């Protein structure tokens, strides 16, 4: 496919049109994968966005974390997974900090009942 330099103002003729031919829109994820795969390995890269027609509307998908069909995910779904991962990470951080604070609050005694605390070693 020849490269065409773009300059000035660009107007796209419809809501489903894109300046990048790789965008599509495509009838399915498999069709996008097949068509772009025929163009060579450089056609599909991590982060490439394509339009997939679902129920008469163009829905954006992108390759996230790889270039195989299973990596082609709906943008909103993958963003929601990112937000969920971030929330889980924040919760884990909060719990680790609470644990560290609890450990710091432990008062050491001269003697410990070995049956009650078998993992504690007194130096």
- Could you give the percent of the chain with pLDDT greater than 70? 55
Please tell me the predicted confidence (pLDDT) of residue 31.
93
Share of the chain above pLDDT 90, in %: 15
pLDDT tens digit string along 5-14?
666 565 556 5
3 against 57, higher pLDDT? 57
Angle at 10 between CA 32 and CA 15, to 5 degrees: 50
pLDDT (0 to 100) of residue 98: 78
Question: What pLDDT, on the 0 to 100 scale, is given for residue 4?
Answer: 60
Q: Strand ranges (DSSP E) for the chain?
A: 49-54, 57-63, 72-74
24-68 pLDDT, tens digit per residue, is 899 999 999 888 887 655 688 888 889 999 999 999 998 888 888
pLDDT attached to residue 112: 57
Determine if the peptide bond prior to 92 is cis (ω within 30°): no
Contacts with 29 (C-beta within 8 Å, 6 or more apart), sequence order: 52, 61, 69, 72
């Amino acid at each position: 496919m020849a490269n065409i330099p773009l300059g000035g103002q660009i107007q796209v003729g419809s809501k489903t049109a894109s300046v990048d031919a790789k965008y599509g829109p495509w009838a399915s994820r498999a069709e996008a994968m097949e068509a772009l795969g025929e163009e060579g390995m450089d056609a599909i890269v991590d982060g490439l966005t394509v339009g997939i027609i679902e129920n008469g509307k163009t829905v954006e998908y992108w390759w996230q974390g790889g270039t195989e069909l299973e990596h082609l995910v709906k943008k909103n779904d993958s963003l929601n997974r990112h937000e969920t991962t971030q929330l889980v990470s924040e919760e884990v951080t909060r719990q680790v900090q609470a644990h560290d604070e609890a450990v710091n609050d432990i008062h050491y005694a001269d003697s410990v009942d070995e049956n009650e605390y078998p993992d504690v070693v007194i130096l």
